[in-house]
Chain A
């Protein structure tokens, strides 16, 4: 009985111990389960393993897409300075090339981490409209540009065999291929022949005048390497961006260069890293040039275009009075004529066309007489100054004999680096004129290291030198309110040593600066005056001005052809998150 009782107690003790152990095991199990659950929740909430990474990726993908679509749209505007249906096609192709290439590469970036990311451009709306740029100091679009290796160089200095007709070549390239031709804007004012009384002009950088490039004198790689050396270029070298070229256009350009006599020199850029240039402007369309009047015996301007083989249209009085002088028909008008004899209605047409956005170039007596003619029809309060610019046409006749005997053939044109050097009044009436001078200006590019254009040599044969009516120089009105405040002085009248011709020619006991080459904006247009008989007589450096004006005209119009609404879909899948979004990017 006792044994039975002990055995029963022993059994009860064992059962209790078993229950305790079981409870303990259940507790451990519960604890383990809770720890595991807690870890699971913690892990899921850690950025490294949770959805935060996906969210960041999707956000970055979306913002990059929006940014690059905007970038592609902005970039296409470079090609849209002149309206052309071919340009519109190019723009579309360019935009899609850009977005497709971006989409392909960004997909591969994500694919490296096992993520699928796709960009699809569903629909693009292009909106086009032609607008005039707001004219401020300069009349052309100056922009930095990167030129990759193998771009084509068209020299405009000693390296070029056919400098004047190179303009026709550039014209043909733009006209036939719609490929923009870039002009490198350089500073044509060099350090030589600087007058000691203009010390500010000595601070001209060598690198602004010369552009150092490693080039091949054989531009076509399939013709084999030619002489690949470092060359210096000056005088506003032209460049064709290799990205705009293909085999077909390369062939066309080469063949076209061979059609000229002598052939147009083209070099090839051979710099592996390419070349980034700060100041360029692109000729993206060809200007329509008009010349007035049509009497070629009175108008030597035809000579420039004959030399350059640039097409132009002669306008007579009837053409202008009939309303043919419109921006749709002509973007550049050149005048070599005494405007004081012109019908006031013709002057009015010219003033209106210029104010709308035309680029007017007047030379010789045309430059001297133009402002008086303009004043007769444009005396509104919007233009408080005299005429287009404020030329004092009465101040050109009282030339001291000492000066005419020193320079019987008339003055040289000395380019100035900055208008501001002439701001010390008196004698210049307007302090604070706009400040670019001839530097980085497309209409004054020359490789002449003296920074000077020769005198109008033919003038001395036609009569007494420095006769006022021949308009060999002019002065500005000696009154701030009478001068266009945005006038830019590009060149003054100079002695052969480069020093400026200054004298009192109106008896007010103040010496006037005598100028030859000035420009100024007039509403949406631009006016350029060049005193002296003919650019041809000053040499090809001066004659190039007539072609350089192209850039002022073709950069005036801006074709606002842009992708205004871009509908895209982005899809993203990384195993943690699947995301798809279709949205509209409004530019």
Chain B
């Protein structure tokens, strides 16, 4: 057995549970999801120009997740902040990414949108924008995979049920933007499945940022509603 595979098996060993632990893990997932929903739907609706109100539930969620990792003795390496399995995870992600790109190009042509891979954000160089979205993707994938996926595995074990739960949570957080809900559900399935086989957050975050770039470059902005979610979708 290779050292990387053994390491991943050790990480899996932490995910064996009893019934009480399953309930606790389910509560943890519900708690983090509720924080994000509060930020998206309640705080954002009343915050006006202030981002402080939105930052409070997000800060609570991150603080909680960090303490939870400590109490469960999870290391950064366990969570997927590592490089040894980066290429293995990247290889698994490559085919779905190519497929999604082809589907996006076809859909973009179908809707008659202008395909432009250079004009993501006016005023920001493409590399800067990609770096920014990589950071944002890493934060999202840490919550989604490093926390929710790991807790989902505590609830229902490795496999399609926990993968489905992660994808469902990810897409629900993008309501009411219907197109994003569909896209994030598909993305959530792929990223969750790959993470369970090769837990590497850098690879899924890179995939996340590249797929966001493909989406905004191929599909019309009117279709994606400028990637707006939560109460801001209506604003």
- A, B: real partners: no
